[in-house]
Structure 1
Amino acid sequence: MSGETRPTPQPRTTEDLQLRETASPPRYAKATDRPVQYVAAADRQGNVIGYVWANDEDDAAGWKVRPAGGDAAFNLGVMWVSRLHEAKLRGIAPTAALAEMVRDSDPAKASHIVPGSLRQAPSLQAVQELAAQD
């Protein structure tokens, strides 16, 4: 076996990694101490699964799942989080994103905004407490 040659290592396996910092996509702030607008989201059966909330002053918006809805509510909430991310990428104010969700909601989909559910809360904490109720 003295005539065997060893393969030459490929540069891709031996070169130093060049780590570069990249910018993450823009996101709304995850919290605010100010009043928020919010809407209820429901599943096809009409069960409220969570709340989408927004505040323009702090450029904040988010999704608050109802733990009582279980895994299904959590999974359906991904759509609302994605819609918020898309709106931020388009440069839309948080409450305008909320208005779009209300306008474009379709009860035939797996999750929809409950008609007439747009409300104002004194704080994000109030929405969190609402979501925590059974």
Structure 2
Amino acid sequence: MSNERPINPRFDEDVHFNLVKAGPPRYRNHTDKPVRYFTVVDKQDGAVLGYVWANDEDDAAAWEPREAAGPRAFSEGGIWFARLEGAKGRGILPSQALAELLANPEGNRGRVVPGSLADAPNAAAVEALAKGD
């Protein structure tokens, strides 16, 4: 008799894993290349809540909440993030998504400032703007 234990038949075959991407498609959330962005303000008091930026070359776009606006900026970001996610799901370029958002400028608590579309050297510049007072 052998001291070896019999192989459990459940473990007798090779195991295969399928790589599955989690969640819906999303734009990249950072780029070192130039971006276009616009400002979103609170509908009631006009305080800046954050910025939406985009760059086609790196397929990147994101909501950047303004730190000084606190929780209002983060909660408002949900709608802008969802709208960007929907645009990516439809396969459109970030600049096209930005144009769509500008054409429909109302969020939950915020709205786009008319004429606020501007250029920045990269996403970090918009992030720095959001961290400023």
- For the aligned pair, the TM-score class normalised by the smaller chain equals 0.7 to 0.9
TM superposition shift of 1:124: 1.1
AA at the equivalent of 1:77: G
Matches of 2:116 and 2:98 in 1, distance apart?
11
1:37 matched to 2:36: yes
Runs of 5+ in structure 2 lacking a partner? 1-16
Q: Distance in 2 between matches of 1:47 and 1:22?
A: 41
- Residues matched between the structures, number: 116
Partner amino acid, structure 1, of 2:101: M
Structure 1 runs, 4 residues or longer, greater than 6 Å off: none
TM-score (norm 1): 0.80
Q: Give me the whole-angstrom Cα distance separating, in 2, the residues matched to 1:111 and 1:83.
A: 14
Displacement after TM superposition at 1:21 (Å): 4.5
Cα offsets for 1:61-97 (capped at 9, x unmatched): 0111001001111111111001100000011100110
TM-score (norm 2): 0.81
Q: Could you give the per-residue CA deviations for residues 32-55 of structure 1, whole angstroms, max 9, x where no partner exists? A: 110000011111121110000000
- Aligned-CA RMSD value: 1.7
State, as a whole percentage, how many aligned pairs show the same letter.
Answer: 49
Q: Where does the alignment leave 5 or more consecutive residues of structure 1 unmatched?
A: 1-18
